Amino acid sequence: FRLVSANTLYEEITEKPVSECIGKTLIEVLPRYVEKQLKVFFQNCLNEQISQESEMVIERDGVTRWWRIIASPVFSVGDDHKRVINTCIEITDKKLLERQLNITRQRFQAVIENAYDGIITIDEKHTIKLMNEAARDIFGVSETEVLGSSLNRFIPLRYRTKHSEYVASFRGSAVDARPMHSRVAVTGLRADGSEVPLEVAISKIRVGADTEMTAVLRDISERARLIDELSRAATQDALTGLYNRRFTTGILSKELERCRRFKRNMGIAMIDLDDFKKINDTYGHIYGDAVLKIMAEILSKNVREIDTSCRWGGEEFIVLLPETDLEMAAAWAERVRKVIASAHVKSHDGQAIRVTASFGVAATNGEGHTLETLMQKVDKALYSAKENGKNCVCGL
């Protein structure tokens, strides 16, 4: 192929004056790698007798330029196609922009996929358009099975209606995003059917005529577990699982106020294991702990839902009995005392040890009693039970 004619702009390709290129072959005016590509390109145009389009890269002195090349056969007498008209359009800026866009896309994808938090994007129909690796790990799914599916599969059934209403409300609001410090806690549904507590921040973005929403998720299972443990530690005795003294004191204060306000009765029992120090000294503290756990189990099995069992401290326990007068409280205490006396706890050598407890009971309608005076009263009753030989009930 020889260059027959060209405009001056073609010098952008040859980097030589057009006048010097006329009549010369491609290899004489273009780099070999360009000449080879154009020779095949032009020959295909003639062979197929139709216009051809492709792209060409020319690099000179470290500068790279991209061109869109179009070749069309030129019809001559007798339909002998021996000439080709070649049009070249520089697309360097477009290619550089595409390259930068691709780099940005790759960077974005790397950030999304390697983010510690889960990220999910949905469209207006709640179809999942993006779900990063962290989110897939949270819900226990793979990328292939999740894209194109509905977000509802990751929401427990009882929350789906409310969630859909919330998403619709957010889409129509003037707020484009909820910042990270405004995260809300929600519950997600894993692929295996288990639920997971999540912290969520959401945002929305216009994509053409549609609105897509992106949620940033954080699995707070460990935090929820720690909060639960702290909550239990604040209310429960670690050894027995009963309420602790601090929490029960609050309940007792409220019950006293309720009795005073509505003129209702409340019974209270203080229980002390007899000779517990001797048990610890003889059989050890591990055995002593086992006795306390059995004591707590007996109390838990012998109270109503409205009653409150508490480890008051050491080997002392408190039971609050709402809607109970002194006679009823004493009857309850006697019944539980017999249960405890009939129980036997085996020592480390298999020996069955009999354990007993003393009960002090009192009752109040709230009038004339404060928390302190009521506790003094029931403590005095317990002291009387101890003075009367232990393993008995004494009421004041």
d(CA 138, CA 128): 15
For residue 45, which amino acid is it?
C
Q: For the range 2-6, what are the long-range contacts, defined as Cβ-Cβ under 8 Å and sequence gap of 24 or more?
A: 2/26, 3/29, 4/83
Hey, what's the torsion of the CAs at 190, 193, 194, 196, to 10 degrees? 30
Alpha helices of 184-284 — where are they, by DSSP H?
221-235, 245-262, 276-283
Residue type, 313: G
β-strand pairing of 308-313 with 316-322: antiparallel
Sign of the CA dihedral running 172, 177, 181, 187: positive
Alpha carbon distance 83, 97 (integer Å)? 35
d(CA 194, CA 196): 7
Q: How do 357-364 and 393-395 pair as beta strands?
A: parallel
Closest by alpha carbon to 309, among 261, 363, 245? 245
Among the listed residues 55, 255, 315, 372, the single catalytic one is: 315
Q: Supply φ then ψ for residue 95, to 5 degrees.
A: -65, -40
- Residue count of the chain, please give it: 396
Neighbours of 394 (CB within 10 A): 21
The answer to whether 48 is a known catalytic residue is no
Please state, in angstroms and as integers, the Cα–Cα distance from residue 62 to each residue in 58, 59, 65, 207, following that order: 10, 6, 10, 39
Nearest to 308 by CA among 254, 359, 350, 233: 254
Whether the CB-CB separation of 166 and 175 falls below 8 Å is answered with no
The amino acid that residue 354 corresponds to is R
Catalytic residues: 315
